[in-house]
Amino acid sequence: MTPVLTPTLEKQDTLSVPDLVAERDLTRRDLELIFQLAAQVKASPGSFAQALQGKQLALIFEKPSLRTRVTFEVGMTSMGGYAIYLDHTKPRLGERESIKDIARNLERWVHGIVARTFAHASVLELAEHASIPVINALTDLLHPCQGLADFFTLGEKFGRLRGLKLAFVGDGNNVCHSLLITGAKLGVSVNVATPPGFEPKAEIVEDAKSFARKSGAKVQLFNDAPAAVAGVQAVYTDVWASMGQEYATHLRAQVFPSFRITEELMAAADPGAVFMHCLPAHRGQEVTNAVIDSPQSVVFDQAENRLHVQKALLLLLLMQNGRV
């Protein structure tokens, strides 16, 4: 039986890029297409049950994962495909064999690569040398799959994206970078509140401001959490020390307490504001139990939507690649 897509996904419904390496490469139409297809997949998963029959996906992970690994594996198998997990925690990608050679081997066996790496350059190199789609599943610079799922979730909750305001409070890390770029492209204003010296990378901020000028959004940096949160529709945080920064946990625990998300801080946001976190959460550190377990919290909606958004990405990228 030849696998077919649901009739609502037409041949012209393809992304403008062959890979998902960085959000800055996606057009506004790309983002809308991903969200539209994710909504279809979520509403009618059975319609896509055989869409990726015969397709194989390689998962390369240098870092631990719960949500990303499970959702990509479930996404592939629920659409008739198969996922192969490659543990690269030891040795790291490129240590035993060059990344170029890994890419050229994998392209002969599978239809796509999902890579979670420390260095962003590793994903770029995979995409450069593989003739099959490569999806960035998190690097030290960006976390595009998370950002896409986050804004899909906001669209569900508010019925719109353009004109919303989101505050990211904590470390200016990879998740923060993805929220800045994707939000700016979608017309969502993003405030970032960090302790001095922990701001997002300047080049990411400049890119986001450039996209924001085109979409009508604003990008602002703060060193004061209440000022950043005032009047926003979404308050977002992440762990204070990302994977690979565990050595700095003790120091950051002394620097970040005034950036903890509490009920008092949430009260400064819009009355209908939601709380967001990419997970895993260090309860009692960056967020209190009262907030993460409150009715305002949409953290598990975000986690669920990782599945639907990534299924949309797999459909769009693997089907448009044209390999049999």
In sequence order, what DSSP letters do the residues of 290-309 get, joined into one string? HHHTSTTB-HHHHHHHHHHH
- The answer to whether residue 116 is catalytic is yes
CA angle, corner 94, sides to 173 and 139, nearest 5?
15
Token couple for 249 = 């946990």
- The answer to whether residue 278 is catalytic is yes
Identical fold between 23-142+305-319 and 146-302: yes
Query: How does pLDDT run along the chain (324 residues), one tens digit per residue?
Result: 233 344 345 555 799 999 999 999 999 999 999 999 999 999 999 999 999 999 999 999 999 999 999 999 999 999 999 999 999 988 888 889 999 999 999 999 999 999 999 999 999 999 999 999 999 999 999 999 999 999 999 999 999 999 999 999 999 999 999 999 999 999 999 999 999 999 999 999 999 999 999 999 999 999 999 999 999 999 999 999 876 666 577 788 899 999 999 999 999 999 999 999 999 999 999 999 999 999 999 999 999 999 999 999 999 999 876 544
Alpha carbons 182 and 22: distance in angstroms, whole number = 10
What's the Rg (C-alpha) of the chain? 19
- The answer to whether residue 143 is catalytic is yes
CATH of domain 23-142+305-319: 3.40.50.1370
Q: Which of 40, 140, 278, 302 is catalytic?
A: 278
Measured from the Cβ of residue 162, the count of other Cβ atoms closer than 10 Å reads 12
Q: So where are the chain's domains?
A: 23-142+305-319, 146-302
**Predicted TM-score (pTM) of this structure:** 0.94
Give alpha helix (H) positions in the chain. Answer: 28-43, 67-78, 99-109, 120-129, 144-158, 174-186, 202-215, 225-229, 249-255, 263-266, 289-292, 299-321
Topology adopted by domain 146-302: Rossmann fold (3.40.50)
Cβ atoms 267, 227 nearer than 8 A:
no
- The answer to whether residue 252 is catalytic is no
Q: Which of 88, 238, 260, 302 is catalytic?
A: 238
- The answer to whether residue 238 is catalytic is yes
- The answer to whether residue 140 is catalytic is no
